[in-house]
Amino acid sequence: MSTILAIETSTELASAALLHQGQLIARESAGAQTHSDSILPMIQQLLAEAGIPLSRCDALAFGVGPGSFTGVRTACGVVQGLAFGIDRPVVPVVTLEAAAQACRTAHPDAREVLAILDARMGEVYWARYRANDNGGWDTLAEPALSSAEQVATGGKPAACGNGLAAYAAHFTPDFCAREFAAAYPQCMPHARDVARLGQLHFAQGRALPAQEAQPLYLRNKVALTTAEREVRDALKGAA
């Protein structure tokens, strides 16, 4: 089996994982401001625990986005630098797919998953997946950015991600019971899931040269203007 080093920094939790000889070990650190400081020490800890050098890794997987603008850039930059140093490919993993993987790991009966992540600015990132026989996912709805109200929820999938809690005024308990087979807001993308999917994608020939690693952005603007914030706050007050 291939050895995969994985990192995920698209949310407030930074994580790293190493999948080696069928064993998965992981580290994590909370606080978005610390991602660039914490990720390399975590990688060093994982390699030391496994007793292998970085050069023993067959590929480096990373959460490509969508997610925090700074976070996905951090992940991309770190894996590029490491991959260039050891002449290894990189494997991008969509963070929404990683969230779906986390959901299925915790809840094996979740075969069709709608992943919904908080995108801030009154919006969510979302995508829909169905588990396939290869251990991966078929994409039913490509990653998108929209308001919570615009998320396509028909068909009773399981739902996961912190977007459910961030927009609880829309994703109410009654709404979730009506639209979803189950709702798991605590199931979020983690390097463990990026490593598992990265190993699968690597085996399927979906690795890229390090220089081709690019973050997946669904939003060009990263902050609201003062006027836009005032409109948003007024709408929240009216609701």
Where are the chain's structural domains? 4-95+189-212, 96-184
Q: Is the pLDDT of residue 232 over 50?
A: no
> Does the pTM exceed 0.75?
yes
Longest CA–CA span in the chain (Å) reads 58
Residue range 96-184 forms a domain whose CATH class is: alpha beta
Architecture category of domain 4-95+189-212 in CATH = 2-Layer Sandwich (3.30)
Q: Model confidence over 123-132: pLDDT tens digits?
A: 999 999 999 9
- The mean-pLDDT minimum among 53-57, 149-153, 225-229 falls in 225-229
* CB-based contact 19:195 (threshold 8 Å): yes
Query: For residue 208, is pLDDT > 70?
Result: yes
Average per-residue pLDDT for the chain? 91
- The closest alpha carbon to 48, from 74, 20, 22, belongs to 20
pLDDT in tens, 74-102: 999 999 999 999 999 999 999 999 999 99
Q: What is the mean pLDDT of residues 135-149?
A: 97
Asked if residue 176 lies in contact with residue 165, where contact means CB atoms within 8 angstroms, the answer is no
> Does position 201 have pLDDT exceeding 80, yes or no?
yes
pLDDT of residue 1: 85
